[in-house]
Amino acid sequence: MTTLTHLQRLEAESIQIMREVVSETENPVMLYSVGKDSAVMLHLARKAFAPSPPPFPLLHVDTRWKFRAMYEFRDRMAEEIGMDLIVHINPEGVEKDINPFTHGSAIHTDVMKTEGLKQALDKYDFDAAFGGARRDEEKSRAKERIFSFRTSQHRWDPKNQRPELWKLFNTRKHKGESIRVFPLSNWTELDIWQYIYLQDIPIVPLYYAAERPVVERDGALIMVDDERMPLEPGEVPMMRKVRFRTLGCYPLTGAIESEADTLPAIIQEMLLTNTSERQGRVIDHDSAASMEKKKQEGYF
């Protein structure tokens, strides 16, 4: 009898979840945020339905404030893998020019991410959406089920979740309900990196340490990715060797100082770290339990 490694078990579980969703729902979609978890989720989806491409499109809810390297990577990947990529930007947010500097991280996230996602799901009538969230990222994600049911208004009720004993998933939806599905729920950040290394999965170069222009804001190292970033009077960005553990909107994503410019070096760094990757996300520090509040309102 062959014994599966822990990564093979996780891979098998994720593939089973994806196949379950495709067989039980009518119009699934995969949320593609261009990060490392999305890269792994996309890789697993391609494995799950090989040799055909996955039978669902990719959806990128764009805020217009992602790193330039993310946009380049997203477009390259969409071209290479031949899947449909839907890019949705909240038109109301564009009209009001919502941005993290003028409106703050909370409003920016709510309008451009949460509302944008809800708009896209309604517009294309998706009844299931894969997300790359993991339990080890943040406490509200830790208690969320793999199959997370949302009301017709996309709200999440953390006190009303279905049991998932023995990995048996109840996929029955009430009328108007949709499901957010998290095939990577049981993966850790270290698992993700090990899997990326073993499977040679392409990722955005921002995950590797390199000299990048950064400014310090409230203890976070914020990369000056384009000329839209307003500098304080007299402020001069410093070139520092940094990398990102998580990627989001660049003004809201803190870099870490690191020398890890290869996958083995990143894995070694992960083995020694004792903080969550989400500590680099400004939006998670908005208020206590801010992620749970955002999730209740429809954030993925």
Partner 1 sequence: MLNERRLEAVRLRLDGHTVAEVARQTGLSAPTVSAAWKAFRQGGWEAVPVRRRGRKVGQAERLGEVAQGTLTALLASHPETTDPAWSSSALADALASEGHRVSPRAIEHWLEAQGLKPAPLPLDGLARRRSTAGRWYRQQVQPVLEQTHKAGGGSWEGGVRVAVPAKSAVGAPRRYQLYLHGKRGALYTRCLASPPRADDYLALFDRLAAEAPVALLFRGALFQASPEIQAWLADHPEFHLINVPPNLSLGSDPKGR
Where does this chain bind partner 1 (CB under 8 A)? 210-213, 215-216, 224, 227, 231, 234-240, 257
Q: How far is the CB of 234 from partner 1 (least distance, A)?
A: 4
Q: How far is the CB of 236 from partner 1 (least distance, A)?
A: 5
Q: How far is the CB of 243 from partner 1 (least distance, A)?
A: 12
DSSP string, 137-203: G-HHHHHS-SEEEE-TT----TTS----GGG-------TT-EEEE-TTTT--HHHHHHHHHHHT---
Whichever of 60 and 212 has its CB closer to partner 1, that residue is: 212
Whichever of 24 and 261 has its CB closer to partner 1, that residue is: 261
- Give CA 187 to chain center in angstroms: 13
- By three-state DSSP, how is residue 253 classified? strand
Find all residues with CB under 8 Å of 162, minimum gap 6, and list them: 145, 147, 149, 170
Q: Nearest to residue 98, comparing CAs of 116, 113, 111?
A: 111
Paired tokens of 62? 């764009």
Whichever of 104 and 205 has its CB closer to partner 1, that residue is: 205
Whichever of 92 and 235 has its CB closer to partner 1, that residue is: 235
Q: How far is the CB of 280 from partner 1 (least distance, A)?
A: 18
Q: How far is the CB of 235 from partner 1 (least distance, A)?
A: 6
Q: How far is the CB of 203 from partner 1 (least distance, A)?
A: 18
CA distance 296 to 274: 28
Residue 118, CB-side half-sphere exposure with 13 Å CA sphere: 21
Task: Give CA angle at 139 (135, 142), nearest 5°.
Answer: 30
Q: How far is the CB of 195 from partner 1 (least distance, A)?
A: 27
Whichever of 67 and 300 has its CB closer to partner 1, that residue is: 67
Terminal C-alpha separation, the chain: 39
CA dihedral 233, 239, 245, 251 (to 10 degrees): 20
Q: How far is the CB of 254 from partner 1 (least distance, A)?
A: 15
Whichever of 57 and 213 has its CB closer to partner 1, that residue is: 213
Whichever of 128 and 223 has its CB closer to partner 1, that residue is: 223
- Is the Cβ–Cβ distance between 209 and 242 less than 8 Å? yes
Whichever of 158 and 230 has its CB closer to partner 1, that residue is: 230
Burial class for 85, CB neighbours closer than 10 Å (0-12, 13-18, 19+): middle
Query: Strand pairing of 58-62 and 85-89?
Result: parallel
